[in-house]
Structure 1
Amino acid sequence: MKQFKRLAAVAALGALMGTTAMAEGLSTPNLAYRTGPFAATGIPIMNGQADYMAMLNARDGGIGGIAIDFSECETGYNTEKGVECYEKTKGSAIVTQPWSTGITLQVLPKTNVDEIPILAPGYGFSPMADGAVFQWAFNTPLSYWDGASIILKYLSEMGDLNGKKVAFLHLDHPFGKEPLPYLEMKAEAMGFELLPIPVGLKEMQNQSAQWLQIRRERPDYVVLWGWGAMNAGAITEAAKTKYPMENILGVWWAGHDADLKLVGEDGKGYKSVSWSFPNPDAPVMADVKKYVIDAGKSQTNPEEMEGVFYSRGLVISAILAEGIVVAQEHAGKPDISASDLRWGLENLNLTEERLEELGLTGMVPPFSTSCSNHTGHSGGWILEWDGAKFVKASDLIMPDSEAISELEMAKAKEYAEANAPWPVNEDCQM
């Protein structure tokens, strides 16, 4: 049977080298946020991440015969606490998972010194895709600029954007501002008016001023770049003001089932882009249930497991686990270093066949990375709320890689010059 054969091969490698599961294991700390204003969206993702690693530990004895230490350090999505967590966990870590874009930006220069890879799936600083400049940072499988590109492509399929008005309702935070360089560039090129509308952290649950502006400006579309309580606030306000839900399209962090369940049928037609999708029939779901859920080792519940964010957590840990597998094979040992993992993360090749072997069929698009491409630019689906759940509303849409690549290189160069001396991998060719 093909499924899991590669993990079995790595486990055999560990056995041949006389390596058994270690007490400490491979340290892969997660800078979690189960508390604070973003907890409602953080919890299902953290549960999915933890459950996948717990499944590997229980089913396979870890990866390559070495247990995975997937401990969490709580940040509450606070940048200062996130940096403290990074400093606290970096000593034995082979990776850091900062979560907040603000934390990622603070940690980014430190990883050049500490030589620990950042794994920021679908978030962080978009120019991190340029692996020659950002040698230790990975934002697989899609960047925020990829997401903005896919949203504009989908809206363009609905009609020419020339002369249209697009409101950009975004969190007034590094995460919310991240897609602005790309959106501003495309607004000029495509002839639409971009209307940025920021939402402060203290305004997330009361957006009356922002939606008053939307009612006054009457944009053709609203792009929702929200997170946590902001999304629930925006969706309930849109329903209250009867803004057409079919004209709202969110980033993947604005596609949380629980937020839409607040409005139910009134949210029908709302859409978000996504690079993950729940597949209850996927073999990985059966294994998580058998080895983790039924064994009482999870903090999740049946309703949460059906949602987009829990399955995204599983996918995120699967990406990390695959990086570890590739690194172990290349290093010829299971007890890898942070440098080994960097090599693994920039040599991912998650083909359809490999995803099937991992039991992840239909849960994430295929993608690959390289020393110059630390994102993968996998493409994404448009998900639509049908009144009760999210369903796929499009085939896979690929981002405008040519325009994005030019912007990535320009902004990466700008960042490196502003933070000189900045080490660059001269041996890495685009």
Structure 2
Amino acid sequence: MKNFAKLAAAAVVASVVAGAAMAESLYTPNLSYRTGPFAATGIPLMNGQKDYMSMLNARDGGVGGVEIAFEECETGYSTEKGVECYEKTKGKAIVTQPWSTGITLQVLPKTNIDMIPILAPGYGFSPMMDGKTFQWAFNAPSGYWDGADMIVQFIESEGSLEGKKVAFLHLDHPFGKEPLPVLEAAAAEKGFELLPIPVGLKEMQNQSAQWLQIRRERPDYVVMWGWGAMNAGAITEAVKTKFDMSKMLGIWWSGHDADLAIVGDKGKGYKSISWSFPDVDAGVMADIKKHVVDAGMTESNETEMSGVFYGRGVVMSMILAEGIKVAQDHFGEANINAEQLRWGLENLNVTEERLAELGMSGMVPPFATSCANHTGHSGGWMLEWDGAKFVKVSDHLTPNTASYSDIAMKSAADYATANAPWPVNEECGG
């Protein structure tokens, strides 16, 4: 029996090696946006994602001995161009990374037919947390509703919200409207007034009307759901109007170092919830420097690489690489397909120990996914701008998912009904 076990183990290893030898690469396209009004935030994220995969290719020959073909298809954050990129890449892709809530919503029904997993770390359609309904969609490690809940938690830690007024300054776009169901439910439960203030795409750099309203309404807090040029516009206006920056909090896409650097010390106190944290001294950053930066293969620079968004891009590609590895180990083959990667993304278990092995301790909280849970709900930290950089000002926060699980279930059911016939994984428990 011992000899048989050894032979069986050897056969699995041999099959993985053989699969690696047969596979030229694993095609993992990224629907990037290095151009357009959101380029300032897109570039560091794309650079972090790309550099991590380049490092794996240079250091390890990819994942499981198979090189990662990390091609970018430029969308400019346009939903129309994003769908074009999806159609262009889906033939040989094992994953799609849409990089916009609008694009995610458009390709979501297509992926069920094409059987390609969506990987949208920290963005996209929040009800994707329901893996039973959204079998091919993943937004691990944390979703928008998680972020909204943690922001409310943090504000409440400073005192009761009863009778308070919270302005919700948001991009007038599917992304900006995502947290409304959770924020509205929290307002009703905790007794605060929620004041939605939309910012149109053409108003991102000139928000004088919105900040005039904020001055008039005098909210106790401003929660910002901004992206790209909107972030710098809002922060600049807040400083100009002398708003108390300690009472202004943003989602993780509104916590970009370069936006705060514009105002420097005047932005002190501004906060952003985040499921990632940069660490230039981390082992993974040393490997990126050795195998990518020193080899002249990066498009980044030292300042950008020390920031939140570059580090987040690194974490995002780690999630994809871990999904590939989990699938390879489970199926005993290196040249996995899209359906096998879907299984890998559904069975992630990114523990503290695994993060230490990856040289990424403290860069993202531990999290795990399952058949029913495609978000992982890692939680995160509240970061604060100290005048020069973002620092952690909270312990690890975790979302109270029970407070919006009913909303998620109803939204998922409504989506499935509206898009009938919609396949649901009836074998998925929980």
Give TM-score, length-normalised by structure 1: 0.96
Aligned partner of 1:64: which letter?
Answer: G
Matched, 1:119 2:112: no
Distance (Å, rounded) in 2 between the aligned partners of 1:237 and 1:13: 59
SS at match of 2:157: helix
Match of 2:259 in 1: 259
Distance (Å, rounded) in 2 between the aligned partners of 1:240 and 1:128: 39
Residue 405 of structure 1 and its aligned partner are, at CA, apart by 1.8
SS at match of 1:341: helix
Instruction: Indicate if the aligned counterparts of 2:82 and 2:98 stay in contact, CA closer than 8 A.
Output: yes
Match of 1:242 in 2: 242
Match of 1:85 in 2: 85
SS at match of 2:382: strand
Structure 1 unaligned residues grouped into runs of 5+: 1-8
Q: How does 1:28-427 map to 2 (within 5 A)?
A: 28-427=28-427
SS at match of 1:52: helix
Distance (Å, rounded) in 1 between the aligned partners of 2:334 and 2:345: 15
Instruction: Indicate if the aligned counterparts of 1:349 and 1:369 stay in contact, CA closer than 8 A.
Output: yes
Instruction: Indicate if the aligned counterparts of 1:13 and 1:334 stay in contact, CA closer than 8 A.
Output: no
SS at match of 1:18: helix
Distance (Å, rounded) in 2 between the aligned partners of 1:304 and 1:22: 37
* Change beyond 3 A, Cα 1:49–1:112: same
Q: How many residues in Structure 1 have an aligned counterpart in Structure 2?
A: 421
Ranges of 4+ aligned residues in structure 1 off by more than 2 Å:
12-24
Aligned partner of 1:271: which letter?
Answer: K
* Change beyond 3 A, Cα 1:15–1:23: closer
Aligned partner of 1:236: which letter?
Answer: T
Residue 121 of structure 1 and its aligned partner are, at CA, apart by 0.2
SS at match of 1:284: helix
SS at match of 2:194: strand
Cα distance per residue 1:78-109 (max 9 Å; x no partner):
00000000000000000000000000000000
Aligned partner of 1:141: which letter?
Answer: P
Instruction: Indicate if the aligned counterparts of 2:122 and 2:140 stay in contact, CA closer than 8 A.
Output: yes
Residue 407 of structure 1 and its aligned partner are, at CA, apart by 1.4
Aligned partner of 2:349: which letter?
Answer: N
Residue 404 of structure 1 and its aligned partner are, at CA, apart by 2.2
Distance (Å, rounded) in 1 between the aligned partners of 2:215 and 2:63: 53
Cα distance per residue 1:190-224 (max 9 Å; x no partner):
10000000000000000000000000000000000
SS at match of 1:417: helix
Instruction: Indicate if the aligned counterparts of 1:148 and 1:182 stay in contact, CA closer than 8 A.
Output: yes
Task: State the superposition RMSD in angstroms.
Answer: 1.4
Structure 2 unaligned residues grouped into runs of 5+: 1-8
Distance (Å, rounded) in 2 between the aligned partners of 1:423 and 1:81: 27
Cα distance per residue 1:164-197 (max 9 Å; x no partner):
0000000000000000011111111110000000
Residue 13 of structure 1 and its aligned partner are, at CA, apart by 3.5
Q: How does 1:1-20 map to 2 (within 5 A)?
A: 13=13, 17-20=17-20
Residue 290 of structure 1 and its aligned partner are, at CA, apart by 0.2
Instruction: Indicate if the aligned counterparts of 1:129 and 1:374 stay in contact, CA closer than 8 A.
Output: yes
Instruction: Indicate if the aligned counterparts of 1:21 and 1:61 stay in contact, CA closer than 8 A.
Output: no
Distance (Å, rounded) in 2 between the aligned partners of 1:293 and 1:424: 45
Instruction: Indicate if the aligned counterparts of 1:223 and 1:248 stay in contact, CA closer than 8 A.
Output: yes
Residue 408 of structure 1 and its aligned partner are, at CA, apart by 1.0
Match of 1:4 in 2: none
Aligned partner of 1:77: which letter?
Answer: Y
Residue 52 of structure 1 and its aligned partner are, at CA, apart by 0.2
Distance (Å, rounded) in 2 between the aligned partners of 1:218 and 1:247: 11
SS at match of 1:299: coil
Aligned partner of 2:198: which letter?
Answer: P
Aligned partner of 1:280: which letter?
Answer: V
Distance (Å, rounded) in 2 between the aligned partners of 1:274 and 1:30: 22
Distance (Å, rounded) in 1 between the aligned partners of 2:22 and 2:41: 33
Aligned partner of 1:57: which letter?
Answer: N
Percent of matched pairs sharing the same residue? 73
SS at match of 1:17: helix
Cα distance per residue 1:134-160 (max 9 Å; x no partner):
000000011100000000000000110
Distance (Å, rounded) in 1 between the aligned partners of 2:16 and 2:167: 59
* Change beyond 3 A, Cα 1:418–1:58: same
Larger mean CA deviation between 101-110 and 413-422 belongs to 413-422
Give TM-score, length-normalised by structure 2: 0.96
Instruction: Indicate if the aligned counterparts of 2:22 and 2:335 stay in contact, CA closer than 8 A.
Output: no
Residue 17 of structure 1 and its aligned partner are, at CA, apart by 3.5
